[in-house]
Amino acid sequence: MPADLTPAEAWRVLADGNARFVAGTVEHPSQGADRRAEVRDEQRPYAVLVGCSDSRVAAEIIFDRGLGDLFVVRTAGHVPDVTVLGSIEYGVALLGVPLVVVLGHRGCGAVAATRDHVRTGREPVGYVRGIVDRIRPHVADLGEAPDDEAVRRHVRATVRELVEDSVVVARAVAAGTCAVVGATYELVEGRVVPEVARGPVDLGPGDGSMGA
Ligand SMILES: [Zn+2]
């Protein structure tokens, strides 16, 4: 896998991998002994994946990628706190990664817990409060809208906050060396659906879905 991809090329690699995953034609690339040796001395990932910790949204699996491909930062509800921002900036500034993908998903427990907190006023347990506090401003005014709408809203807001809060990412996007894509993942079909993009990347025609 060539390391020096453009943002658009990096997105296409992920879109193609997700299309294979959806179709059941996965290739499990870059997962063998030869790849371990190839990446022994350095990593050249071409995407930072900022995703939810949910066990059903495993980054390399759903994009059919392997070792050295993705720089992955996952928290419950993909909240961009300072250490997450630091990890993203490490990928963009020090590793030269051309693409950041914020990936939410249907059935997100962190979003559901936040909406439950908004409706009932019940306090989240322990440090879960830190997650809920980050998500709440994105979904507090949604009323009885479906959770899927809350997930999409939270993804778009996370992309906006990421570009607003990270000067490193904002400069890379402005320079055209990096793009940020927000997307949602559908648990049963396995499809990643792009929702929003900043920077030099084409999300493709039609309904925005990846692949066939
Ligand atoms: Zn989740």
Distance 153 CA to ligand 1 centre (A): 13
pLDDT at 186 over 50: yes
Give the Å distance between the CA of 109 and the centre of ligand 1.
Answer: 5
Distance, CA 163 to ligand 1 centroid (Å)? 21
Distance 187 CA to ligand 1 centre (A): 11
Q: Which residue has the tokens 């999409």?
A: 152
Averaged pLDDT, 46-75:
98
User: In angstroms, what is the span from residue 108 Cα to ligand 1's centroid?
Assistant: 4
Q: What's the mean per-residue pLDDT of the chain?
A: 94
Structure tokens, 115: 């909406």
Residue 211 has pLDDT above 70, yes or no: no
How far apart CA 22 and CA 26 sit, in angstroms, is 9
Looking up tokens 């084409």, which residue turns up? 202
Q: Which residues pair with 104 in a beta bridge?
A: 184
Query: Domain locations in the chain?
Result: 7-29+42-198
pLDDT at position 207 over 70: no
The pTM score is 0.94
Separation CA 179–CA 148 (nearest Å) = 24
Distance (Å) from CA 41 to ligand 1 centroid: 33
State the pLDDT at residue 202: 85
**Cα-trace Rg, the chain:** 17
Distance 202 CA to ligand 1 centre (A): 26
Query: Is the sign of the CA dihedral 182, 99, 52, 56 positive or negative?
Result: positive
Which residues have CB less than 5 Å away from ligand 1 (the ion)? 52, 54, 108, 110
Ligand 1 mean position to 116 CA, how many Å? 14
pLDDT of residue 38 exceeding 60, the answer is: yes
pLDDT of residue 146: 93
**Torsion sign over Cα 133, 198, 12, 193:** positive
C-alpha 21 to ligand 1 mean position (Å): 20
The arithmetic mean of pLDDT across residues 61-86, rounded, is 97
Phi/psi of residue 23, nearest 5 degrees = -80, -10
Answer whether residue 128 shows pLDDT above 60: yes
Residue 208 CB neighbour total at 10 angstroms: 13
For residue 40, report the distance from its CA to the centre of ligand 1, in Å.
32
Average pLDDT value for residue range 16-45: 96
Q: Which residues does residue 184 pair with via DSSP β-bridges, in sequence order?
A: 104, 193
Mean pLDDT of 100-114: 97
Q: What spacing in Å lies between the alpha carbon of 210 and ligand 1's midpoint?
A: 20
Choosing among 3.30.70.1350, 3.40.1050.10, 3.30.930.10, 3.60.21.10, the CATH entry for 7-29+42-198 is 3.40.1050.10
Q: Mean pLDDT throughout 127-146?
A: 95
CA of 70 to the centre of ligand 1 (A): 19
Sign of torsion over alpha carbons 45, 57, 50, 19: positive
